[in-house]
Amino acid sequence: QVQLVESGGGLVQAGGSMRLSCSASGRTFSVYALGWFRQPPGKEREFVAAVRWSSSSTDYADFVKGRFTISRDNAKNTMYLQMNSLKPEDTAVYYCAAGSGRNSRLYPYWGQGTQVTVSS
């Protein structure tokens, strides 16, 4: 089992920045990748970014490229999502997850989610 806890959400104005953190515990040695997903109000959950635990290789959804940066600190078992140039459409509940790829069905472990609200 892998336990994940997100932190860092809140309210920010459009154009601002915010950093989310995801702390992992448990069988972290079994983790292939950590990812961020988000679920905007009334919409389905969507892939945001992922980072491989061992190699730091990253993958981003097109709508966040150039604005969001995913990173991880293996020593702290923590993953981060630095979000810059935030837009109102980035408003969503953001989840971290452990698994692989872009399909949420390939992620068996999930955090509880953290709300990010971007005001216009």
DSSP β-bridge partners for residue 33: 52, 99
**Average pLDDT of span 65-80:** 94
Please give the Cα distance from 89 to 17 (Å, whole number).
Answer: 14
Q: What is the pLDDT of residue 27?
A: 85
Q: Is the pLDDT of residue 56 over 80?
A: no
Q: Is the pLDDT of residue 96 over 90?
A: yes
Nearest to 6 by CA among 48, 44, 55: 48
Percent above pLDDT 70 for the chain: 100
**Average pLDDT of span 60-87:** 95
Q: Is the pLDDT of residue 29 over 90?
A: no
